Structure 1
Amino acid sequence: MWVKWGAALLGATGAAAAAGACWWRWAGAGARAQRAAVNVLVTFDDSGFRCEQEIGAGGGGAGGACHHRYCCVHNLQRIVDFLDDARTCIDICVYIFSCDALAQAVKRAHDRGVVVRIITDFDMAYNNGSRICHFYEQGIKVKSKNSNNLMHHKFCIIDSPSRIGEIYSKNSNVTFMNYFLHKINQQHRGILVNGSLNWTNQAINGNWEHVLITSHLPIIKLFQSEFNEIWKTFKEFQPY
């Protein structure tokens, strides 16, 4: 039945070849790209600078971790890895964003075609070390609100199924092949990164912080709805 549907979209000529190629990509990508379920609590403490010193001195173990139970270098890399694994979209809602390692991961995602949106506090966008103006210059969409109240959220949603569906629904040129790639993406588990952590070097290297990383879809849906509501009410960021 899907072959007939594809022929209607692409025309009878070459439909079989296109359908076969699409099926190969669908089956192969679906088999190797499904994310495993994730429910992880990552914590940071005041040993962060000692972690960097120990690893820098050659004391790091496998995976760039030191002997500390909650090595900040290792735990930061876990968040970076999820950003690097983003396939379609990243929505970030953080009070302040100045951590270079996370900023570079966001830029890499943007450069490979991932749709990135960022919500941040208006005043903190101009804080020393903030990466927000750099994101704006790179063409990443940023929104904020000039207010006496704080935009104090700290969460990130990666490859939310509902957001993927929204992106594809706005594309009037969705082809037969893209349709099946979209169905694959719908099967991928989204990821929520949420907790007390501001995306700053100080928070990662010296504060007591927690981050919950989960693929639990009902929770992801709630946070995606919150992000969408703020996105609708905030204005596009414009540097001074």
Structure 2
Amino acid sequence: MLDFDLNMEQIQKHPIVATISIAAGAILASEVIWKMVTFLQGQLSGKKPLRVHEVLTFNELGDICAAQHLRSPDLSKSPDAVVLQCRNQHCTLRNVGKIVEQIDQAQYSIDIAIYTFTSLPLADAFKRALQRGVNIRIISDREMVFSAGSQINVLASLGVPVRTPITTYMMHNKYCVIDGVERVEEIRLLKKRKWMRPCCSVVVSGSVNWTRQGFGGNWENCILSADEKLARMFQADFARMWKAFENSEDKLKPKI
């Protein structure tokens, strides 16, 4: 209290100091008010910052750093650290790692619609999700389920349900929906829970098949987005196909 009185006395004796102090206080107060207004506007609008919203491109520049990564002594210990340090903005390893990062954040569900899938890093991420109790479903093309190196077949052997269209037309989609709102609610009802922890819906979609050539040889794209409207639309498409292909599930037998 004594220090406060002394400071006030000094301010009163020095008009310039008083002016600077008042100005500084006004600036600080205005910043606090502005932050509060911005926060309230965000709450009222219902808009939340997206967890992820970016485009990954795969091209001829993706593997120019591959030899450097293979020589790195830290790659076997911490691949993520190597990826983050890579200066190649087109790095295949880093881009695949960004997809893996989204899979690793899944809490309740992952619905996959993929034409062909042989990528081991993605398969390992889905296995980790299964170990966390995440519900995974797969829709694929009937011929590609049992193709050489198919990780769909591997995941099916771990209990992941797989459905395909019974037709000569291709199921050519390449997307997955992580923690889709409708699917999470469906799981809540099935498990008879009163509530679920808050989660973020994310869509992974693009031209790229989840293969070594797709990620490291072709010119492809992949969008990662937490846009809720996009997630709902993709989730609705998956749900429609899942119901339409329900007769195919019992006919698919894993072959390891």
TM-score interval (norm. to shorter): 0.7 to 0.9
Structure 2: which amino acid aligns with 1:208? W
**Contact kept in structure 1, 2:108 and 2:184, CA below 8 Å:** yes
**Contact kept in structure 1, 2:63 and 2:91, CA below 8 Å:** no
- Report the 3-state secondary structure (helix = DSSP H, G, I; strand = E; otherwise coil) of the residue aligned with 2:223: strand
Q: Which residue of 2 aligns with 1:140?
A: 160
Q: Which residue of 1 aligns with 2:67?
A: 53
Moved more, 65-74 or 214-223: 65-74
- Counterpart selection for 1:76 from 96, 110, 119: 96
**Contact kept in structure 1, 2:50 and 2:227, CA below 8 Å:** no
1:192-227 superposed Cα distances (whole Å, 9 cap, x missing partner): 001001011111111111111111111111100000
**In the alignment, does 2:220 pair up with 1:209?**
yes
Structure 1: which amino acid aligns with 2:143? D
Q: What CA distance in whole angstroms lies between the structure 2 residues aligned with 1:72 and 1:49?
A: 6
- Report the 3-state secondary structure (helix = DSSP H, G, I; strand = E; otherwise coil) of the residue aligned with 1:49: coil
- Report the 3-state secondary structure (helix = DSSP H, G, I; strand = E; otherwise coil) of the residue aligned with 1:46: coil
**In the alignment, does 2:204 pair up with 1:190?**
no
Identity of aligned residues (%): 32
Cα–Cα, structure 1 residues 63 and 35, in superposed 2: closer, same or farther, change >3 Å?
Answer: farther
- Offset of residue 63 of structure 1: 4.2
Q: What CA distance in whole angstroms lies between the structure 2 residues aligned with 1:145 and 1:97?
A: 17
Structure 2: which amino acid aligns with 1:95? Y
Cα–Cα, structure 1 residues 105 and 35, in superposed 2: closer, same or farther, change >3 Å?
Answer: farther
**Contact kept in structure 2, 1:123 and 1:146, CA below 8 Å:** no
The within-5 A match list for 1:27-106 is 36-58=50-72, 63-64=82-83, 65-106=85-126
1:99-135 superposed Cα distances (whole Å, 9 cap, x missing partner): 0100111111012100000111110112111112211
Q: What CA distance in whole angstroms lies between the structure 1 residues aligned with 2:63 and 2:147?
A: 22
**Contact kept in structure 2, 1:35 and 1:189, CA below 8 Å:** no
Q: Which residue of 2 aligns with 1:168?
A: 188
The within-5 A match list for 1:143-154 is 143-154=163-174
Structure 2: which amino acid aligns with 1:113? G
Q: What CA distance in whole angstroms lies between the structure 2 residues aligned with 1:146 and 1:55?
A: 42
- Report the 3-state secondary structure (helix = DSSP H, G, I; strand = E; otherwise coil) of the residue aligned with 1:212: strand
Q: Which has the higher contact order (CA 8 A, sep 6+)?
A: 1
Cα–Cα, structure 1 residues 129 and 169, in superposed 2: closer, same or farther, change >3 Å?
Answer: same
- Offset of residue 49 of structure 1: 3.4
Moved more, 63-72 or 92-101: 63-72
Q: What CA distance in whole angstroms lies between the structure 1 residues aligned with 2:154 and 2:72?
A: 33
Q: What CA distance in whole angstroms lies between the structure 1 residues aligned with 2:112 and 2:228?
A: 17
TM-score between both structures, scaled by the size of structure 2: 0.72
- Counterpart selection for 2:230 from 203, 214, 219: 219
TM-score between both structures, scaled by the size of structure 1: 0.76
**Contact kept in structure 1, 2:53 and 2:224, CA below 8 Å:** yes
Q: What CA distance in whole angstroms lies between the structure 2 residues aligned with 1:144 and 1:35?
A: 36
The within-5 A match list for 1:102-117 is 102-117=122-137
Q: What CA distance in whole angstroms lies between the structure 2 residues aligned with 1:35 and 1:169?
A: 28
Moved more, 149-158 or 163-172: 163-172
User: Whose Rg is larger?
Assistant: 2
> Which structure 1 residue ranges, 4+ long, deviate > 4 Å from structure 2?
59-63
Q: What CA distance in whole angstroms lies between the structure 1 residues aligned with 2:106 and 2:86?
A: 27
Q: What CA distance in whole angstroms lies between the structure 1 residues aligned with 2:99 and 2:229?
A: 21
- Report the 3-state secondary structure (helix = DSSP H, G, I; strand = E; otherwise coil) of the residue aligned with 2:72: helix
- Offset of residue 69 of structure 1: 2.1
Aligned pair count? Answer: 198
Structure 1: which amino acid aligns with 2:63? F
